[in-house]
Amino acid sequence: MLRVRVRLAGRIAAQYEIEIAGGALERLGSAARRALGAQTRRILLISNPRVFGLYGARAVESLRAAKFNVAHWLMGDGERFKTLRTVGRALQFSSEIGLERTDAVVALGGGVTGDTAGFVAATYLRGIAFLQVPTTLLAQVDASVGGKTGVNTEAGKNLVGAFHHPRLVLVDTETLRTLPSREMTAGWCECIKHGAVGNRKLFDDTRRFLERYESAKKNSPPYEERLSKLIAAHCRFKAGVVRGDERETVERKDHKSRRILNFGHTLAHALEAATNYRRFRHGEAVGYGMIAAGEISRRLGLLDAAELKELRETINLAGRLPSPANVDKDAVIDFLKADKKRVGGRLQWVLLERLGKARIIDGREVPKRTVRDGLRAALRHYSAA
Ligand SMILES: NC(=O)c1ccc[n+]([C@@H]2O[C@H](COP(=O)([O-])OP(=O)(O)OC[C@H]3O[C@@H](n4cnc5c(N)ncnc54)[C@H](O)[C@@H]3O)[C@@H](O)[C@H]2O)c1
Ligand SMILES: [Zn+2]
């Protein structure tokens, strides 16, 4: 069992553990009991039909063995269910079953489930305890770490939410065995992002893992063990960034601010919106977004050509991204203007100085033409591949 401790600066008793191991789900009950203490009687498990069908019985059984009274509530599967409506229904259910202040919510699933269930836990009775059991690679290395919870609205993604840290994150790497390969690719893209913005060694380790990934026998013990270690390294990295800037301070523009985690995301969000969230998984769009941001970085004289090439190759290793043929580039540019991470009406670009070091650049310093060329170069590269 690997453990990553997440410490939060400036608050009392604000720390929790991420526990990572193949088969960890069987220990969910005992780990939850340790994290929650003896007073917690009930647990509301929130999941979706697909994930619950695969892992629900094991999770419930383990929780019951630790003397929790378990109820479950299933939300729809997919980003389009990450809404206030879903949250409203889950809150209603929580009231109906009489969930109390000392009780807890457990999220079992990917980032969609985690974000939604986290927001339910953050708002029910003004906040009750919350545990995460992420079952996608993306959720294990990214979404479950850092305390951001929330939902989408008509106006855009993640526009309503709260910071609410879990008491425990339990990562069972064996759950990835059933994850479709596109979802793995999406998760790997976020991993590449971590290395690219802040840790060259993590970038290299991720790349090396991806190189061996195809040839390694996927479910053999050494694979599982190396994967667990790599996931732990990514959690540690994200936890470190979050600790340094828990609430993503608006004024900060340094290379350690939480905002660096938005590398590739400005264009990714625009790409997702321009294709009605249908063509790309979020992480796949981040793959294109990182290449475009890399291209922009090079055009501004920040990133050198060899490192840009390395970034592209590593994203290639993550898996094949869906074709960007016929993506309306003008629509993508229009959506850029609506990006929520704008500060004072201006976009802030997260670019790269080198692999392992990000730089935040004010939108005024990036000519529109450069953005357009960078985007075109990113999309062209893959159309030709
Ligand atoms: N809170 C944060 O800091 C943060 C960070 C990054 C992303 N996010 C959010 O995370 C969401 C994306 O999460 P995601 O990529 O995990 O998507 P997801 O939750 O939609 O999961 C992807 C698909 O995989 C299925 N699935 C999950 N686990 C499975 C398993 N083990 N086996 C088989 N199928 C499985 C799900 O049912 C779903 O269909 C987005 O809404 C994004 O905004 C949040
Ligand atoms: Zn992301």
Work out which ligand 1 atom sits closest to the CA atom of 118. 1
Backbone φ and ψ of 216, nearest 5°: -65, 145
Distance set, CA 113 to CA 30, 75, 134, 135 (Å): 22, 8, 9, 10
Neighbour count for residue 144 (Cβ, 10 Å) = 28
Kind and range of the H or E run holding 72: strand 69-74
Per-residue pLDDT reduced to its tens digit, 119-175: 999 999 999 999 999 999 999 999 999 999 999 998 888 889 999 999 999 999 999
* pLDDT the model gives residue 385: 45
Confidence grade of residue 4 (pLDDT, cut at 50, 70, 90):
very high
Alpha carbon of 10 to ligand 1 centroid (Å): 30
Confidence (pTM): 0.95
Neighbour count for residue 267 (Cβ, 10 Å) = 28
Same fold, 2-177 and 181-384: no
Confidence grade of residue 210 (pLDDT, cut at 50, 70, 90):
very high
Here the tokens at position 129 are 């305890």
Q: Catalytic residue at 262?
A: yes
**Does domain 2-177 correspond to CATH entry 3.40.190.10?**
no
DSSP codes joined into one string, 15-45: EEEEEEETTGGGGHHHHHHHHH-TT--EEEE
pLDDT at 297 over 80: yes
Confidence grade of residue 380 (pLDDT, cut at 50, 70, 90):
confident
User: Do 117 and 72 contact (CB within 8 A), yes or no?
Assistant: no
Per-residue pLDDT reduced to its tens digit, 85-100: 999 999 999 999 999 9
How far is Cα 290 from Cα 365, in angstroms, rounded to an integer?
19
Identify the active-site residue in 236, 258, 299, 359. 258
- In this predicted model, which residue has the larger pLDDT, 100 or 242? 100
Alpha carbon of 370 to ligand 1 centroid (Å): 32
Three-class DSSP category at 186: helix
Q: Which residues contact 23 (CB under 8 A, 6 or more apart)?
A: 172, 174
Q: What angle do CA 328, 158, 359 make, to 5 degrees?
A: 75
Distance set, CA 179 to CA 51, 67, 135, 174, 251 (Å): 10, 30, 8, 10, 38
Mean pLDDT of 30-51: 98
User: Do 63 and 131 contact (CB within 8 A), yes or no?
Assistant: no
For the ranges 44-58, 95-109, 334-348, the lowest mean pLDDT is seen at 334-348
Identify the active-site residue in 190, 224, 246, 307. 190
Alpha carbon of 289 to ligand 2 centroid (Å): 10
pLDDT at 214 over 80: no
Neighbour count for residue 21 (Cβ, 10 Å) = 21
Ligand 1: does its nearest atom lie under 6 Å from the Cβ of 257? no
Q: Catalytic residue at 26?
A: no
| Probe residue for ligand 1, chosen from 54, 133, 136 as the CB with the greatest number of ligand atoms within 8 Å | 136
Identify the active-site residue in 165, 282, 298, 312. 282
Place of tokens 């994203």: 315
- On the CB side of 299, CA atoms within 13 Å amount to 20
Backbone φ and ψ of 129, nearest 5°: -65, 155
Of the candidates 71, 65, 69, 70, which has an alpha carbon nearest to the alpha carbon of residue 31? 65
Q: Catalytic residue at 190?
A: yes
Q: Which CATH number fits domain 181-384: 1.20.1090.10, 3.60.15.10, 3.60.21.10, 3.20.20.70?
A: 1.20.1090.10
Alpha carbon of 239 to ligand 1 centroid (Å): 19
Of the candidates 303, 286, 305, 317, which has an alpha carbon nearest to the alpha carbon of residue 204? 317
Alpha carbon of 152 to ligand 1 centroid (Å): 14
Ligand 1: does its nearest atom lie under 6 Å from the Cβ of 118? no
Ranges of each domain in the chain:
2-177, 181-384
How far is Cα 86 from Cα 373, in angstroms, rounded to an integer?
40
Ligand 1: does its nearest atom lie under 6 Å from the Cβ of 139? yes
Q: Catalytic residue at 372?
A: no
Confidence grade of residue 200 (pLDDT, cut at 50, 70, 90):
very high
How far is Cα 72 from Cα 47, in angstroms, rounded to an integer?
8
Ligand 1: does its nearest atom lie under 6 Å from the Cβ of 175? yes
How far is Cα 42 from Cα 103, in angstroms, rounded to an integer?
5
Confidence grade of residue 266 (pLDDT, cut at 50, 70, 90):
very high
Task: Report percent pLDDT > 90 for the chain.
Answer: 79
Ligand 1: does its nearest atom lie under 6 Å from the Cβ of 289? no
Here the tokens at position 277 are 């969230």
Mean pLDDT of 360-379: 94
Alpha carbon of 285 to ligand 2 centroid (Å): 9
Mean pLDDT of 181-189: 96
DSSP codes joined into one string, 328-348: -HHHHHHHHTT-TT-BTTB-E
Ligand 1: does its nearest atom lie under 6 Å from the Cβ of 143? yes
* pLDDT the model gives residue 137: 97
Q: Catalytic residue at 265?
A: yes
Ligand 1: does its nearest atom lie under 6 Å from the Cβ of 48? yes
* pLDDT the model gives residue 216: 62
